[in-house]
Amino acid sequence: MLLPELQSLAASLGISGTARMRKGELISAITERQGGGAATGTPRPRAEVAAAAALAREEVHAEVRESGERPEAESRPAEQPAAGGTTGRARGRRARAASEASEARAEARPGGAEAGDRAERGDRAERGDRAERGDRAERGDRAERGDRAERGDRAERGDRAERGDRAERGDRAERGDRAERGDRAERGDRAERGDRAERGDRAERGDRAERGDRAERGDRAERGDRAERGQRDNDGDEENEGGGRRGRRSRFRDRRRGRGDRVDGGDGGREPQVSEDDVLVPVAGIIDVLDNYAFVRTTGYLAGPNDVYVSMSQIKRYGLRRGDAITGAVRAAREGEQRRDKYNPLVRLDTINGMEPEEAKRRPEFYRLTPLYPQERLRLESEPHILTTRVIDLVMPIGKGQRALIVSPPKAGKTMVLQAIANAITHNNPECHLMVVLVDERPEEVTDMQRSVKGEVIAATFDRPPQDHTTVAELAIERAKRLVELGHDVVVLLDSVTRLGRSYNLAAPASGRIMSGGIDSTALYPPKRFLGAARNIENGGSLTILATALVETGSMADTVIFEEFKGTGNAELKLDRKIADKRTFPAIDIHPSGTRKEEILLAPEELAIVHKLRKVLHSLDSQAALDLLLDRLKQSRTNIEFLMQIAKSTPGE
C-alpha cells in the first residue's frame, strides 16, 4: 500500500499524528492498534472485513501482474533475463498464497472480532507493500547493478545494496521507498541532464556546422568575387586574405562588381573583357586623368554624359597622359539591356595621338625637354588692309615659343586683337596648331570667336562654375604639351589670365594666407604654371602662349594678379584706353610694347631699321606716334616696303 492509503487506514483506526509518521511507523502503529483492539474494540460487520480483504488481494495481484508484464529490458540486466522472470512469478505465487491463507483464517473465525479482521488486513497490506517495495527495489537494483539474481531475499538485499550501511536500521521499508523515489528522481535528473547535454551538443555541432558553412560560403563568395574583379592592390589583398574581421566586413561591402570597375585606390580594378558576341562602337576623345580614374572626354574638354571610363590599369599599361587624344572602342548595349554603369568603360585602345600604343610609350616627357629663347619668327602680316597684325610685327615681333602678355584695360579692343592674331597664324603658319582658350567670357564672344577663327576654340563661359573654368584651362594646356612632345608647334591664345586667376581663387581651398584684394597665396600658382609651359624646345617643337591681362578695372585683385604675371612674359603688348576712346584701332601703346631678345628674331638689317623707327616714334606721345605709324602703313602694301622707305628717308648713323 502507498503512504496515503496507510495514512487513511490509520485515521480510520483512530490513530492520530499520521501526517508526521513514516511508512514503517504507520505500519507498526496500525499493527499494534489492530492487535490491541481485537479484545476491546467493537466487532465490524463481516461484509466490511471481506471488502477490505478483497481490496488488499486485488492490489497485490495488480502489483504482481504489473511486475510480470513490464518489459524485462527496462529493469533486468542483459546477462540475467531468466532469473528476473522466475523471481517475479515466484513472488506472485507467494503473494497469492498469502492472500488465500488470510482469507481462510478470516473464514475460520466466524465469530472473530473486528481486531482480527484488522490484523488480517494489516498483515495483507504489509505483505503487499513489502512485495511491492521488494519488486521495485529489485528492478531498480537490477537496472543499476545487474548482478543480483543469485541473491536470496532480493527485496531485502536490494534494499541493503541500495542504501549501503542502512541494513541495521528498522525503517528499511520507508527508506527503501525513499531510495526508490530518489533513484527515480536521479534517473530523471540524469535523463534530463543527458537530454540537455545532447541538445547542447547538437546545438553546438549545429552552430559549428552553421559557422563552418557560413565561413565556407563566405570564402567561396570571396574567391568568386576576387576572380570576377581581378587583381587588386597588395594592401587590399593582404587585408581580405588575412581572414580578419575587418577583411570579412570589407569583403561584402565592396558592391562595385561590374560597375565600371571604379575603385578608390590600388590599380584601378580589372579591365573589361570583350566576348565574341559583343558589338563594339568606336570612340575618340581627350584623356582627362584624375586621382584614381580617368575619362575620355568625347564632347570637348568638359565632362559630358557620353564620356568613357578608363581604368588606372589601362592608364599604366599604355602610358596614357592627361591631354592625350585617343581612339578606341566601347561595348554597345544590347537590346533591352539597362546599363548599370553611369559611364561606358573603354574596352579597346587603338591609337594614342595618331600612333600605336607601343610607339607612344617611347615619347619624351614635356618637362624634360630643354627650353630655349624663340628663334623662329611667327610673321603675323597677312593682308595690306589688316593694320593690327602689321603694327604688332613692328613693335612686338613674336616667335615660336614666345610667352607674351597683352595688357588691356576694358573696352580697348583686345578681342579684336586676338581674332586678328589667330587668323594671321592660321593664314601664315598653317603648320602650327592653334588653340584659343576662353575662360569666364561672354557667350556671344565665344560664338563670335568660333565663327571668325579657323583654329580650335575651347571655352567656358562666365555662367559656369569656377571648377569648369580651371578644368578647361588645365586640360587645354595639357593637350598642348602632348602635341609639343611629338615635335609640333602649338600656339595658345588665352583670354584671360586675370579671369583664370579669379577662378582658381574661388575654386582652390583656402590656405590661410590672403594677399591684397582677397587673393589666396596659392591661387596664383596654377595660372603661373599655365604660362610657364610656353617654351621653345631644342631639337623641334614649341609652345607659344599669348595671354591677355586686365588692368585699370578698379579691382585690387586684378592689379595683384597683373603684378604677379608682369615679369613672367618675354614679350608685352600694351593697349591704351584713351586711344580706344578716340576710336583709333588698334589702340596699341607703342612705347611700353616690345619683345625681349628681339635681335634673335630679326635680321641685322631689319633690326637696325626698326631701331631708327622707334627713335622717331618715341619722340612723340602715344597717340601721335600711333597715328603717324598707321598713316605710313596705309601708304605701303607691306612692312618690308615701309621699312625700305624709312631706310631711305632716314639718314644713316
Q: What is the full DSSP assignment across 352-412?
A: ETTB-HHHHTTPPPGGGSPEE---SEE-----TT-HHHHHHHHHS-EETT-EEEEEE-TTS
Range of the domain at 346: 280-352
Is 124 in contact with 98 (CB distance < 8 Å)?
Answer: yes
Domain boundary among 302, 319, 352: 352
Residue 415 Ramachandran class (φ > 0 left, ψ -120 to 50 alpha, else beta): alpha
Q: Read off the CATH number of the domain in which 324 is found.
A: 2.40.50.140
Residues 68, 131, 98, 22, CA torsion sign: negative
Least confident interval from 159-163, 363-367, 431-435, 550-554: 159-163
The predicted structure's pLDDT at residue 58: 57
Number of other CB atoms surrounding residue 383 within 10 Å: 12
Longest dimension (CA), the chain: 187
Retrieve residue 607's grid coordinates: 633690326
Would 397 be classed as within a structural domain? yes
Q: Do 378 and 348 share a structural domain?
A: no
CA distance 31 to 214: 72
The predicted structure's pLDDT at residue 124: 54
Mind giving me the DSSP string for 126-148? HHHHHHHHHHHHHHHHHHHT---
Would 557 be classed as within a structural domain? yes
Would 638 be classed as within a structural domain? yes
Q: Read off the CATH number of the domain in which 434 is found.
A: 3.40.50.300
- 612-635: pLDDT as tens digits: 999 999 999 999 999 999 999 999
Q: Do 465 and 421 share a structural domain?
A: yes
Q: Do 312 and 384 share a structural domain?
A: no
Q: Which of 21-30, 103-112, 247-256 has the highest mean pLDDT?
A: 21-30
Domain boundary among 325, 352, 379: 352
Would 216 be classed as within a structural domain? no
As annotated, the binding site includes: 399-404, 411-416, 442
Please classify residue 525 by burial: count the beta carbons closer than 10 Å to its beta carbon, then call 0-12 exposed, 13-18 middle and 19+ buried. middle
Q: Which residues of 258-288 are buried (b: 16+ CB within 10 A; e: fewer)?
A: eebbbbeebbbbbbbeeeeeeeeeebebbbb
Cα distances (angstroms) measured from residue 89 to each of 61, 65, 82, 144: 11, 9, 11, 21
Would 511 be classed as within a structural domain? yes
Q: Do 497 and 438 share a structural domain?
A: yes
- Work out the pLDDT band at 505, boundaries 50, 70, 90: very high
CA distance 642 to 114: 169
CA distance 87 to 95: 12
- 208-217: pLDDT as tens digits: 545 555 545 5
Q: Do 446 and 317 share a structural domain?
A: no
Q: Do 338 and 486 share a structural domain?
A: no
Q: Do 515 and 408 share a structural domain?
A: yes
Number of domains in the chain: 2
User: What's the count of helices (H) and strands (E) in the chain, helices before strands?
Assistant: 24, 16
As annotated, the binding site for ATP includes: 399-404, 411-416, 442
Would 249 be classed as within a structural domain? no
Residue given cell 507498526 in the structure block: 28
Q: Do 458 and 570 share a structural domain?
A: yes
Predicted TM-score of the model (pTM): 0.60
Pairing of strands 325-331, 280-289: antiparallel
Q: Do 538 and 466 share a structural domain?
A: yes
Q: Do 525 and 397 share a structural domain?
A: yes
Q: Do 287 and 422 share a structural domain?
A: no
The predicted structure's pLDDT at residue 22: 79
Mean pLDDT in residue range 470-479: 96
Would 198 be classed as within a structural domain? no
- 280-304: pLDDT as tens digits: 999 999 999 998 889 999 999 999 9
Residues 415, 419, 422, 424, CA torsion sign: negative
Q: Do 596 and 509 share a structural domain?
A: yes
CA distance 651 to 653: 7
Judged against a pLDDT cut of 80, whether residue 372 lies above it is answered with yes
CA distance 306 to 344: 8
Would 97 be classed as within a structural domain? no
Retrieve residue 112's grid coordinates: 472473530
Please classify residue 348 by burial: count the beta carbons closer than 10 Å to its beta carbon, then call 0-12 exposed, 13-18 middle and 19+ buried. middle
